[in-house]
Amino acid sequence: MRKLLTFALVGFGAQLVDGAMGMGYGVTSTSLLLLAGLTPAVASASVHLAELGTNIASAVTHWKLGNVDWRLVGRLGVPGAIGAFAGATILSRLSTEAAAPVMAAILLVLGAYILIRFALRPPAVASARVSPHGKKLLSPLGLVGGFIDATGGGGWGPVTTTTLVSAGKTSPRTVVGSVDTSEFLVTAFASLGFLIGLGTAGINFGFVGALLVGGLLAAPLAAWLVSRLPAAVLGVGVGGLVIITSLRTLTKSVDLVATNAGILRAVALSAWALAIGIAVVRHRRSSSSPERPEARDDELVTAAS
């Protein structure tokens, strides 16, 4: 019972992060599940199975709010599903000893990317409700995003959402709504890959259900949280958390990291504190300036996700 409650709290916290930033459910929950002792493949499989439910709820919400560009969903989601299936198949076949450092390294890079992005590079703003991007960008972007999402236990949002929003050619609400909707395809095919590769061995569906329940309970609270806590500060906090937990996993698997664990941890904590300070200063400066219509639009996107 205690474990079920722990997993529900993990799902709850991860969904709060995802609802506030439009990304982070998989990265956050997988990092915490690895700390709880699950193997990399089982952790990623559990997260993706739980995400099936939260993806449906998110997709329906964005569709009703008119945030979905279905052409973008198809061009991004189909290659994303292919990449996710391939990533899940590869991860399922790796031994636990080989998979742990691979997943930790991917999560470390994603954590650093999230931290730097929210601390130093605010997203660009656009108003187009239909994406002008074609297959030359979307197909490889979806393929890479799906592969990283499956092998890293998360990463679809950090890879695809940040790329498309930073390009500044599509309204943030359309990007987030379409990426969240296409994520169902990615999650479904990643789950299929894990089920084929692992069967149901090692997957505790009670844990999956607890993750799902926690995530669904957090969804409405996330909309409230985003109006109280700056997304940039939350993003930096999550990025730092993922970096620290990934370093802990690498300490157990990579001798070079284990030998310099103290130094690396000190550097990571210092960088995390500095990034939080930068994010807070940026937020105060933006709060003191006149509110822009684009900012209100972006806040609505984040609350809806």
Cβ proximity of 28 and 241 under 8 Å: yes
Identify the three-state secondary structure at position 288: helix
With 70 as the cut, is the pLDDT of residue 39 above it? yes
Q: What is the DSSP letter of 270?
A: H
Q: How many residues does the chain have?
A: 305
Task: Characterize 73-95 residue by residue with b for buried, 16 or more Cβ atoms within 10 angstroms of its Cβ, and e for exposed.
Answer: bebbbbbbbbbbbbbbbbbbebe
What average pLDDT score do residues 58-69 get? 83
pTM strictly above 0.85: no
Residue among 236, 240, 233 nearest 283 (CA): 233
DSSP string, 110-179: HHHHHHHHHHH-PPP----SS----HHHHHHHHHHHHHHHHHHS--HIIIIIHHHHHHTSS-HHHHHHHH
More confident call, 146 vs 202:
146
Q: What is the pLDDT of residue 298?
A: 47
Cβ proximity of 305 and 180 under 8 Å: yes
With 50 as the cut, is the pLDDT of residue 123 above it? yes
Phi, psi of 296 (to 5 degrees): -65, -40
C-alpha to C-alpha distances, 85 to 36, 120, 191, 291, nearest whole angstrom: 25, 33, 8, 43
Q: Which residue, chain included where needed, has tokens 């030359």?
A: 136
With 50 as the cut, is the pLDDT of residue 110 above it? yes
Q: What is the pLDDT of residue 77?
A: 94
Q: What is the pLDDT of residue 145?
A: 92
CB atoms within 10 A of CB 296: 9
Q: What is the pLDDT of residue 32?
A: 78
More confident call, 29 vs 249:
29
* Cα torsion 116, 120, 121, 122: sign: positive
